[in-house]
Amino acid sequence: MSDTATTVFDVRGMTCGGCAKRIRTAIETDLGDGTEVVVDHKAGRVTVTAPGGVDAESVQAAVERTGYEFAGTAA
């Protein structure tokens, strides 16, 4: 069984569930099988769990491609 890692990111500009769905789909597509993405558009948080670790640069690219502002790892 491979180790999984979870990272929480701040994303600005999300206003609705549709925003959340676009971001979730983009990240899951880029990071591949086994990736779980939970988006809370009200809090502006994206939680990504992936086998073998989460590549922040890939998450950033997916978020920015969908038109939202990637604000880094949540504090």
The count of other CB atoms within 10 Å of the CB of residue 67 is 10
Q: How far apart are CA 12 and CA 74, in angstroms?
A: 12
Cβ(26)–Cβ(63) under 8 Å? yes
- pLDDT class of 73 with cuts at 50, 70, 90: very high
What structural domains does the chain harbor? 4-73 (3.30.70.100)
pTM for the model = 0.92
Instruction: Cite the beta strand spans of 13-68 per DSSP E.
Output: 36-40, 45-51
Q: How far apart are CA 28 and CA 19, in angstroms?
A: 14
For the stretch 6-36, pLDDT in tens is: 999 999 999 999 999 999 999 999 999 899 9
Cβ(44)–Cβ(12) under 8 Å? yes
Q: Is the pLDDT of residue 1 over 50?
A: no
